[in-house]
């Protein structure tokens, strides 16, 4: 489809508008699908050779060049939001994995892992693009193409650093997998949908049949995060699990639990996360998070027909159990989404320079005085 606000650009435009301005989110879309020219150094795309394309897939797929979110939402999900904080959805529920091993490995209720293993065992997918810790560096998230239940379980749990997940999707497509599921943060789901909706480049994004999104407020910059862990007296090699909930950042090691206020972790946020305007992975088939759910459960937002069928089928097969969520819990999710969006919208506007809307000229830093 031709997106209304689509723009054309090449690698130079990508560098000047996204990389050098600090808004790259390291999703992996540009380098994943252009291995000829782009590789990553210090978690940023870079090139050694000049590419002469006027319009490149790197620019087209990047979620930070242009993102006509409402148009994309309509094209992907078939509807337009009535909820500005959570996007378009048909249902919000609570769910958890039923199998003990899955629930135990999963970060919260294990729903993501349960859905993937259900799809794999039923033969609905032949690959799941997830994230897994590197075998050489502790807790370094790497894209991973899982092709068995054991693989999927090996990637379970949350890593609060960024993973260039879309590289895994590109690898899975290049390796000939036909029915793929991907798990990603909001920025990954945005990139995935731009790839699927692109009018210029067909890289077989249609092979990705399921997009499972995770809620996300931010990811941590590796250097700042490790320095912070050092201040907390923790060695990364000793960490068994990280968790965020009830306003706290929790680190589990053999010695027990160490807690820091989540507000104190804000200083570790990646630069590119400060302009992110999506908390709930608004373009996914289903979005999964912990806020709003009691311990051992997930909050699940069902957005598309594909997502609805997946949840219904997984429930009927006994892979997950579900229950209703109450209004107060949904409000809690909305409140967190809204606070991320409001804060980051200010950063987006501040980077825009002076704005003129019809006859109204305003410096974005003074917008607060008017709205
Ligand atoms: C960086 C980050 C920030 C988050 N912030 C919030 C938040 O503010 N509020 C909230 O309610 N929930 C948040 N979540 C979601 C939450 O931590 C759980 O991922 C979610 O509840 C699903 O739980 P689960 O038990 O079903 O996951 P699991 O069954 O354990 O599956 C998790 C899946 O996520 C993949 N994954 C792990 N880390 C990453 C990563 N860095 N990038 C891409 N994929 C990854 C794993 O490979 C696995 O497939 C965040 C997750 C991440 C990774
Ligand atoms: S946001 Fe993603 S696609 Fe855009 S420059 Fe960064 S890694 Fe590449
Ligand atoms: S806040 Fe989360 S979704 Fe947004 S860019 Fe950062 S990692 Fe991606």
Which ligand has the nearest atom to the CA of 286? Answer: 1
Using pLDDT thresholds of 50, 70 and 90, give the confidence band for residue 354: confident
**What is the CB neighbour count within 10 angstroms for residue 257?**
11
Residue closest by Cα to atom 16 of ligand 1 = 289
Average pLDDT over residues 127-148: 97
Per residue in 216-274, pLDDT tens? 999 999 999 999 999 999 999 999 999 998 889 999 999 999 999 999 999 999 999 99
d(CA 361, ligand 3 centre) in Å: 31
More confident residue, 363 or 310: 310
Ligand 1 lined by 117 (C-beta under 6 Å): no
Q: For residue 272, give the ligand 3 atom closest to its CA.
A: 5
* Ligand 3 pocket, Cβ-based, cut-off 6 angstroms: 25, 162, 185-187, 216, 218-219, 270, 272-273, 276
Token pair of 117 as six digits: 């293993």
d(CA 153, ligand 2 centre) in Å: 28
Q: For residue 62, give the ligand 2 atom closest to its CA.
A: 3
Question: Does residue 6 have a pLDDT over 90?
Answer: no
**What is the CB neighbour count within 10 angstroms for residue 92?**
22
Average pLDDT over residues 79-98: 97
Using pLDDT thresholds of 50, 70 and 90, give the confidence band for residue 299: very high
The pLDDT, as a whole number, for residue 371 is: 66
Q: For residue 219, give the ligand 3 atom closest to its CA.
A: 7
The pLDDT, as a whole number, for residue 335 is: 97
Which ligand has the nearest atom to the CA of 28? Answer: 2
The pLDDT, as a whole number, for residue 326 is: 97
User: Is the four-CA dihedral 212, 214, 220, 225 of positive or negative sign?
Assistant: negative
d(CA 126, ligand 1 centre) in Å: 22
The pLDDT, as a whole number, for residue 120 is: 98
Ligand 1 lined by 151 (C-beta under 6 Å): no
Using pLDDT thresholds of 50, 70 and 90, give the confidence band for residue 42: very high
The pLDDT, as a whole number, for residue 363 is: 82
Task: Return all residues near 35 (Cβ < 8 A) that are at least 6 apart.
Answer: 170
Least confident piece of the model among 18-22, 208-212, 354-358: 354-358
Which ligand has the nearest atom to the CA of 212? Answer: 1
Residue closest by Cα to atom 1 of ligand 2 = 24
Residue whose CB lies within 8 A of the most ligand 1 atoms, among 86, 93, 107, for a mutation test: 107
Residue closest by Cα to atom 6 of ligand 2 = 24
d(CA 254, ligand 2 centre) in Å: 37
Could you tell me the CA-to-CA distances from 282 to 137, 139, 259 in Å, in that order? 32, 27, 30
Average pLDDT over residues 161-177: 98
Using pLDDT thresholds of 50, 70 and 90, give the confidence band for residue 2: low
Using pLDDT thresholds of 50, 70 and 90, give the confidence band for residue 275: very high
d(CA 53, ligand 1 centre) in Å: 36
Which ligand has the nearest atom to the CA of 26? Answer: 2
Which ligand has the nearest atom to the CA of 284? Answer: 3
Contact status, residue 170 vs residue 146, Cβ threshold 8 Å = no
Question: Does residue 112 have a pLDDT over 80?
Answer: yes
d(CA 19, ligand 2 centre) in Å: 8
Question: Does residue 100 have a pLDDT over 70?
Answer: yes
Question: Does residue 323 have a pLDDT over 70?
Answer: yes
Contact status, residue 148 vs residue 112, Cβ threshold 8 Å = no
Average pLDDT over residues 136-162: 97
């Amino acid at each position: 489809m031709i997106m209304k606000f689509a723009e054309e650009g090449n690698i130079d435009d990508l560098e000047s508008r996204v990389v050098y301005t600090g808004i790259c989110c390291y999703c992996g879309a540009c380098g994943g699908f252009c291995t000829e020219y782009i590789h990553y150094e210090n978690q940023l795309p870079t090139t050694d050779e000049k590419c002469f394309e006027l319009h490149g897939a790197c620019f087209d797929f990047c979620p930070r060049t242009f993102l006509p979110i409402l148009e994309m939402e309509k094209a992907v999900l078939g509807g337009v939001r009535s909820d500005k904080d959570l996007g378009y959805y048909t249902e919000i529920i609570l769910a958890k994995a039923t199998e003990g091993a899955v629930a135990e490995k999963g970060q919260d209720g294990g729903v993501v892992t349960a859905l993937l293993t259900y799809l794999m065992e039923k033969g609905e997918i032949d690959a799941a693009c997830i994230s897994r810790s590197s075998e050489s560096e502790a807790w370094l998230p790497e894209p991973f193409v899982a092709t068995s239940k054991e693989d999927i379980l090996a990637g379970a749990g949350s890593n609060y650093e960024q993973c260039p997940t879309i590289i895994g999707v590109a690898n899975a497509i290049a390796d000939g997998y036909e029915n793929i599921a991907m798990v990603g943060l909001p920025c990954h789901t945005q990139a995935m949908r731009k790839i699927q909706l692109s009018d210029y480049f067909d890289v077989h994004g249609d092979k990705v049949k399921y997009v499972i999104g995770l809620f996300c407020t931010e990811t941590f910059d590796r250097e700042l995060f490790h320095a912070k862990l050092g201040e907390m007296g923790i060695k990364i090699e000793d960490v068994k699990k990280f968790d965020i909930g009830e306003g706290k950042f929790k680190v589990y090691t053999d010695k027990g639990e160490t807690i820091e206020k989540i507000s104190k972790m804000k200083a570790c946020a990646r630069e590119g996360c400060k302009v992110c305007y999506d908390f709930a992975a608004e373009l996914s088939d289903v979005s999964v998070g912990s806020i709003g759910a009691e311990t051992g459960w997930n909050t699940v937002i069902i957005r598309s027909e594909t997502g609805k069928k997946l949840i219904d089928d997984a429930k009927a097969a006994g892979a997950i159990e579900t229950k209703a969520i109450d209004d107060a819990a949904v409000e809690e999710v909305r409140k967190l989404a809204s606070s991320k969006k409001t804060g980051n919208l200010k950063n987006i506007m501040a980077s825009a320079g002076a704005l003129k809307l019809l006859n109204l000229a305003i410096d974005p830093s003074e917008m607060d005085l008017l709205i």
